[in-house]
């Protein structure tokens, strides 16, 4: 049995940043499986991963994060078909995020919760980019874990997390309703609401609003850029969840200082 107390002790080692990086790489490897299989409603546990080209099962030694990709020079051991560079990229990014969180927050349970959060955002970002869906199987447990984690020491306080979760959902419901009335089409999916609620549950209402703001601005700029370069009438549906995911990760790291600065502007 790992009680929360012994878990706390287990992560309080001088090697904590190294442990965090290794954990991030391993979880990043699992994130690749989730990104690939969750939209297809396949199990993320079994069967073992296979080469999409020749179907050969990928052995444990060829499944070491980053290292295997480098040793195999990005090709399948059996058929030499190229492996997407996205696999090592996701592993590396997830490892870097965990290292960053470990250095920024130290060895706390709250840090572990934030690690789960950024991986969930990374997975949602890429699933939305590929399929334009945000699976409930990530967002709904995400909201619950975020609310539970707000009971741990450290920001946000539970009330802010609860308001963030409810507010994220309500804010998007209002925006979607207005959008529907104005343009007669569905602008925002249900998944976007739940993903925003998850961000609110983990980061609190103020940082949730900051993430939505950044995602909206980035989405608008990229949308205008696409119209400028590709032409067209702007009906190309941008994956809002992808922008929300990236914005949520950015705010996880910089949201504290930014909201403190903003409050200083209001009160100073």
Give residues in contact with Zn ion (CB under 5 A): 51, 53-54, 76, 78-79, 81
Q: How far apart are CA 19 and CA 32, in angstroms?
A: 20
Cβ 62 vs Cβ 72: under 8 Å: yes
- Give min distance, CB of 36 to Zn ion, in A: 15
CB of 83 to Zn ion, least distance (A): 9
> Least separation, in Å, of the C-beta of 259 and Zn ion?
48
Residues 54, 80: contact at Cβ < 8 Å?
A: no
Minimal distance, residue 84 CB to Zn ion, in Å? 12
CB of residue 70 to Zn ion, shortest distance in Å: 17
Least distance from C-beta 94 to Zn ion, angstroms?
A: 24
Which is nearer to Zn ion, 51 or 115 (by Cβ)? 51
* 101 cis-preceded (ω within 30 degrees of 0): no
Which is nearer to Zn ion, 76 or 249 (by Cβ)?
76
Among candidate residues 151, 188, 156, the one with its CA nearest the CA of residue 170: 188
Q: Smaller CB distance to Zn ion: residue 54 or 144? A: 54
Which is nearer to Zn ion, 54 or 85 (by Cβ)?
A: 54
- Between 54 and 221, CB nearer to Zn ion: 54
Residue closer to Zn ion, measured from CB, 80 or 263: 80
């Amino acid at each position: 049995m790992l009680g929360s107390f012994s878990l706390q002790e287990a992560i309080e080692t001088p090697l904590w940043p190294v442990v965090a990086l290794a954990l991030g790489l391993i979880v990043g490897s699992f994130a690749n499986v989730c990104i690939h299989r969750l939209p297809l409603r396949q199990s993320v546990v079994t069967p073992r991963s296979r080469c999409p080209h020749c179907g050969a099962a990928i052995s444990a030694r060829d499944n070491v994060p980053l290292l295997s990709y480098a040793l195999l020079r990005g090709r399948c051991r059996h058929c030499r078909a190229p492996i997407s560079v996205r696999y090592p990229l996701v592993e590396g990014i997830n490892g870097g995020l965990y290292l960053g969180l470990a250095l920024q927050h130290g060895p706390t349970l709250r840090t572990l919760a934030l690690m789960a959060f950024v991986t969930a955002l990374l997975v949602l970002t890429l699933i939305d980019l590929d399929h334009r869906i945000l699976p409930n199987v990530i967002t709904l447990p995400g909201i619950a874990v975020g609310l539970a984690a707000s009971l741990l020491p450290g920001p946000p306080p539970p009330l802010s997390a609860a308001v963030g979760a409810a507010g994220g959902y309500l804010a998007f419901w209002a925006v979607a309703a207005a959008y529907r009335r104005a343009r007669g089409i569905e602008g925002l999916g249900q998944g976007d609401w739940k993903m925003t609620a998850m961000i609110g549950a983990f980061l609190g209402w103020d940082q949730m609003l900051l993430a939505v703001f950044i995602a909206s601005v980035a989405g608008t700029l990229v949308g205008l850029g696409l119209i400028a370069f590709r032409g067209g009438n702007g009906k190309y549906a941008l994956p809002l969840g992808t922008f929300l995911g990236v914005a949520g990760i950015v705010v996880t790291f910089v949201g504290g200082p930014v909201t403190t600065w903003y409050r200083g502007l209001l009160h100073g």
